[in-house]
């Protein structure tokens, strides 16, 4: 099975900050990597699919990059509504594992 790790597990940031979250797969997954945002009590929301494709309706301050085993989610200028937990997920082969999540909170 493919294991997914994320770093950091949490970070504190301010509005306007540039935020970068990394995700690593235990084996190559090409670009079969998704990023989701989840706020408390809500369902996850797809932000980025296939490593670098912005899901429709998602603000352009979100971007994704990477291929193979190493991936990055970047928020170029953090907004108040972006304080949330972010998960990566591999879609290469079952089980379609999620990373443990990165919580972004207020500094």
Partner 1 sequence: EVQLVESGGGLVQPGGSLRLSCAASGFTFSSYEMNWVRQAPGKGLAWVSYIHSSGTTIYYADSVKGRFTISRDNAKSSLYLQMNSLTAEDTGVYYCARKQWLGPGADYWGQGILVTVSS
Q: Is 87 in the site for partner 1 (CB under 8 A)?
A: yes
User: Measuring CA to CA, which residue among 61, 56, 73 is closest to residue 22?
Assistant: 73
Site for partner 1 in 40-69 (CB under 8 A): 43-46, 48-50, 53, 55
Structure tokens, 93: 């082969």
Position of tokens 């108040």?
80
Strand partners, 20: 74
Q: How many residues line the site for partner 1 (CB under 8 A)?
A: 28
Determine which residue in the list 75, 78, 99, 104 makes contact with partner 1, applying CB under 8 A.
Answer: 99
Q: Report how far residue 17's alpha carbon sits from residue 84's, in angstroms, rounded to the nearest whole number.
A: 14
Binding region for partner 1 (CB under 8 A):
1, 32-34, 36, 38, 43-46, 48-50, 53, 55, 85, 87, 89, 91-92, 94-101
């Amino acid at each position: 099975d493919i294991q997914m790790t994320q770093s950091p597990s949490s970070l504190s940031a301010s509005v306007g900050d540039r935020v970068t979250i990394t995700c690593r797969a235990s084996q190559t997954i090409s670009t079969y990597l998704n990023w989701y945002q989840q706020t408390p009590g809500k369902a996850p929301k797809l932000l980025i699919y296939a490593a670098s494709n912005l899901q429709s309706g998602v603000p352009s301050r979100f971007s994704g990059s990477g291929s193979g085993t190493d991936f990055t989610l970047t928020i170029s200028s953090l907004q108040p509504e972006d304080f949330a937990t972010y998960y990566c997920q591999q879609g290469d082969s079952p089980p379609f594992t999620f990373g443990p999540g990165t919580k972004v909170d207020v500094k």
